[in-house]
């Protein structure tokens, strides 16, 4: 738990790629993506207290896997914003790391976005201040979509954001088999040369205001084009998907991001809670959570 003190707490929710279509590889080497993202109830927590100097401490169940503190995206995002905002008030961050690391949930990116929101609040920067987006984009492709964590379409390499989608809350189970998957290796497995398109297509538009059943039916027509590549890197992903597909009431099972976390969607939260309990009983060493995607 974070220690008591005057610092304000900021949520850093898990990002889930409900779809992830790879449209090709750009001449600059980045892959052109088209992804519907939503945000889960499970999260990391970030405390921030303004003061002299910039610092970060990391604690929590997955802190050890988070890597060197000096390279943490929280500090990198804060430094990027300080370069753009003269006289930026900084301070001390404390991160409670609960989400799995290198897991396809954008945990580090969400942590960095929470840090930017905290700095914006202290420095009275508007939520739509373009310098926040610029700092986010300079540090990581997934950070911009995490600045205002709502369901939306993310495209390009992550820098092009569509308007918030009026998706209904979706009951889900998230599961990670305990393996870290390096994102560059997964993209390398696609074997696309710079400038090469794919034959894959975009997801048809999702209707705002639809119910959960309609949303799930639409998402079924989508894909995660990194899923097969990720399974080559970590075979445990295939076992995770198989376990999720076998849960009672599961309507759709798919990998999130570049893996290894996978999700299954359910009709209601009660079904998801029961399914998560079943999954934890059969795979006690996995990270598994029932949550709502919003």
Beta strands 55-59 and 91-96 are parallel
CATH number, domain containing residue 193: 3.30.70.890
Domain finish residue from 138, 163, 188: 163
Domain limits for position 24: 8-163
Is 1 part of a structural domain of the chain?
no
Instruction: Look up 15 and say whether it is catalytic.
Output: yes
Tokens of 34: 């088209």
Does residue 14 share a domain with residue 119? yes
**Beta partners for 264?**
173, 253
Q: Which residues pair with 36 in a beta bridge?
A: 153
Task: Please count the structural domains in the chain.
Answer: 2
- Helices and strands of the chain, counted as H and E runs: 9, 11
Q: Does residue 159 share a domain with residue 275?
A: no
The active-site residue, picked from 15, 34, 111, 225, is: 15
Catalytic residue among 44, 111, 142, 225: 142
Q: Is the pLDDT of residue 3 over 70?
A: no
- In a domain, residue 248? The reply is yes
Name the residue among 35, 20, 21 with its Cα closest to residue 199. Answer: 21
Q: What is the mean pLDDT of the segment spanning 200-226? A: 86
Assess whether pLDDT exceeds 60 at residue 281.
Answer: yes
What CATH number has the domain bearing residue 146?
3.30.230.10
Look at residue 3 and tell me if it is in a domain.
no
Give yes or no: residues 65 and 147 share one domain. Answer: yes
Residue that is last in its domain, among 130, 163, 196: 163
Residues 27 and 142 in one domain: yes
- Whether residue 50 lies inside any domain: the answer is yes
Task: Tell me how far apart the alpha carbons of residues 128 and 281 are, in angstroms, rounded to a whole number.
Answer: 44
Is residue 225 annotated as part of the catalytic site, yes or no?
A: no
**pLDDT tens for each residue of 92-140:** 999 999 999 999 999 999 999 999 999 999 999 999 999 999 999 999 9
Give tens-digit pLDDT for 57-74: 999 999 999 999 999 999
Q: What interhelical angle do 269-282 and 236-245 show, nearest 10?
A: 130
Query: Which residue, among 180, 181, 177, has the nearest Cα to 189 in the 3D structure?
Result: 181
| Radius of gyration of the chain measured on its C-alpha atoms | 19
Model pLDDT, residue 7: 67
Q: Looking at 163, 185, 220, which one is the last position of a domain?
A: 163
Confidence of residue 6 (pLDDT cuts 50, 70, 90): low
DSSP letter assigned to residue 126: -
User: In the predicted model, what is the mean pLDDT of the chain?
Assistant: 94
């Amino acid at each position: 738990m974070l220690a008591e003190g005057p610092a304000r707490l900021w949520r850093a929710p898990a990002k889930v790629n409900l779809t992830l279509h790879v449209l090709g590889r750009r001449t600059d080497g980045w892959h052109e993506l088209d992804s519907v993202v939503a945000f889960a109830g499970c999260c990391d927590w970030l405390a921030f207290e303004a003061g002299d100097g910039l610092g970060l401490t990391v604690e929590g169940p997955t802190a050890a896997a988070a890597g060197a503190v000096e390279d943490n995206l929280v500090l990198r995002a804060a430094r990027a914003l300080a370069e753009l905002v003269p006289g930026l008030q900084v301070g001390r961050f404390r991160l409670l790391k609960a989400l799995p690391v290198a897991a396809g949930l954008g945990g580090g990116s969400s942590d960095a976005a929470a840090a930017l929101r905290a700095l914006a609040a202290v420095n009275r920067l508007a939520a739509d201040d373009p310098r926040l987006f610029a700092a986010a984009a300079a540090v990581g492709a997934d950070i911009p979509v995490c600045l205002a964590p709502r369901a939306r379409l993310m495209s390009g390499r992550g820098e092009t954001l569509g308007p918030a989608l009026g998706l209904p809350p979706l009951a889900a189970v998230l599961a990670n088999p305990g393996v870290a998957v390096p994102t560059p290796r997964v993209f390398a497995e696609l074997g696309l040369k710079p400038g090469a398109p794919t034959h894959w297509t975009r997801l048809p538009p999702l209707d705002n205001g639809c119910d959960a059943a309609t949303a799930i039916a639409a998402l079924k027509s989508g894909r995660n084009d990194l899923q097969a590549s990720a399974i080559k890197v970590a075979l445990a992903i295939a076992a995770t998907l198989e376990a999720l597909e076998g849960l009672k009431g599961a309507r759709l099972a798919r990998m999130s991001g570049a893996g290894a976390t996978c999700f299954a969607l359910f009709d209601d939260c009660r079904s998801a809670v029961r399914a998560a309990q079943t999954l934890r009983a059969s795979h006690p060493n996995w990270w598994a959570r029932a949550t709502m995607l919003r």
